[in-house]
Chains A and B, each alone.
Chain A
Amino acid sequence: MEELLEKLKGEIIEQLNLEDVKAEDIGNDDPLFGDGLGLDSIDALELIVLLDQNYGIAIANPEEGREIFQSVQSIADYIEANRN
Chain B
Amino acid sequence: MVYAGAEHIISPLGDSAEINFQRLLEGEMATQKHEGIGNKGEDLYAAVIGEVGAFDLVAGIEKSIKASLALLNQEVLATSKKGLLLSTTKGEIEKLKEDAKGASLLNFKQKIEERFTDFDNCELISNACISGVLALIRGHDLIVAGEYETVVVSGADMLSEFTLAGFQSFFAIADDVCRPFDKNRTGINLGEGVGTIVLSSNPNLFQQKPMKLLGGSAANDANHISGPSRTGEGLYRSIHRTLKRAEVSADEIDFLSAHGTGTNYNDEMESIAFDRIGLNTVPMHSLKGALGHTFGAAGLIEAAICLQSMRNNVMLASAGFLEEGTSCSINVLQKNQNKELKTVLKTASGFGGCNASIVFRK
> How near does chain B come to A70, taking the closest CB pair, in angstroms?
19
**Complex: chain A residue closest to B225, CB-CB:** A42
> How near does chain A come to B263, taking the closest CB pair, in angstroms?
12
Interface members, chain B 163-183 (any A CB < 8 Å): 169-171
Query: Counting chain A CB atoms within 10 Å of each CB, which of B169, B170, B171, B227 scores highest?
Result: B171
Query: Are A41 and B224 in contact, with the CB atoms below 8 A?
Result: yes
Q: Does B107 contact A (CB under 8 A)?
A: no
Binary B-proximity of A23-56 (CB < 8 A = 1, otherwise 0):
0000000000000000011100100010000000
Query: Are A42 and B226 in contact, with the CB atoms below 8 A?
Result: yes
Query: Are A45 and B227 in contact, with the CB atoms below 8 A?
Result: no
- A41–B266 Cα distance when bound, in Å, is 14
Query: Are B224 and A40 in contact, with the CB atoms below 8 A?
Result: yes
Q: Which of B169, B224, B225, B227 interacts with A49 by CB under 8 Å?
A: B169
- A62–B171 Cα distance when bound, in Å, is 7
Binary B-proximity of A53-67 (CB < 8 A = 1, otherwise 0):
000000001100000
> How near does chain B come to A52, taking the closest CB pair, in angstroms?
10
- A45–B170 Cα distance when bound, in Å, is 7
Residues of A within 8 A of B225 (CB): 42
Residues of A within 8 A of B227 (CB): 40-41
**Complex: chain B residue closest to A65, CB-CB:** B171
Query: Are A45 and B171 in contact, with the CB atoms below 8 A?
Result: yes
Query: SS class of chain A's interface: helix, strand, loop or mixed?
Result: helix
> How near does chain B come to A20, taking the closest CB pair, in angstroms?
19
Query: Are A61 and B224 in contact, with the CB atoms below 8 A?
Result: no
Q: Which of B169, B170, B171 interacts with A61 by CB under 8 Å?
A: B171
Query: Are B224 and A45 in contact, with the CB atoms below 8 A?
Result: no
- A42–B225 Cα distance when bound, in Å, is 9
**Complex: chain A residue closest to B169, CB-CB:** A45
Residues of B within 8 A of A41 (CB): 224, 226-227
Binary A-proximity of B189-232 (CB < 8 A = 1, otherwise 0):
00000000000000000000000000000000000111100000
**Complex: chain A residue closest to B226, CB-CB:** A42
Binary A-proximity of B141-178 (CB < 8 A = 1, otherwise 0):
00000000000000000000000000001110000000
> How near does chain B come to A44, taking the closest CB pair, in angstroms?
10
Residues of B within 8 A of A42 (CB): 225-226
Residues of B within 8 A of A61 (CB): 171
> How near does chain B come to A41, taking the closest CB pair, in angstroms?
5
> How near does chain B come to A29, taking the closest CB pair, in angstroms?
26
Residues of B within 8 A of A62 (CB): 171
- A65–B169 Cα distance when bound, in Å, is 14
> How near does chain A come to B362, taking the closest CB pair, in angstroms?
41
> How near does chain A come to B40, taking the closest CB pair, in angstroms?
10
Residues of B within 8 A of A40 (CB): 224, 227
**Complex: chain B residue closest to A63, CB-CB:** B171
**Complex: chain B residue closest to A46, CB-CB:** B169
- A23–B170 Cα distance when bound, in Å, is 27
- A17–B170 Cα distance when bound, in Å, is 18
- A49–B226 Cα distance when bound, in Å, is 17
**Complex: chain A residue closest to B170, CB-CB:** A45
- A41–B225 Cα distance when bound, in Å, is 10
Residues of A within 8 A of B226 (CB): 41-42
**Complex: chain A residue closest to B265, CB-CB:** A41
- A42–B170 Cα distance when bound, in Å, is 8
A-side residues, CB < 8 A to B, are 40-42, 45, 49, 61-62
12 A-B pairs within 8 Å (CB atoms) are namely A40-B224, A40-B227, A41-B224, A41-B226, A42-B225, A42-B226, A45-B169, A45-B170, A45-B171, A49-B169, A61-B171, A62-B171
Pairs of residues from A and B, 10 with the lowest C-beta to C-beta distance, nearest first: A62-B171, A41-B227, A42-B226, A45-B170, A45-B169, A40-B224, A41-B226, A45-B171, A40-B227, A49-B169
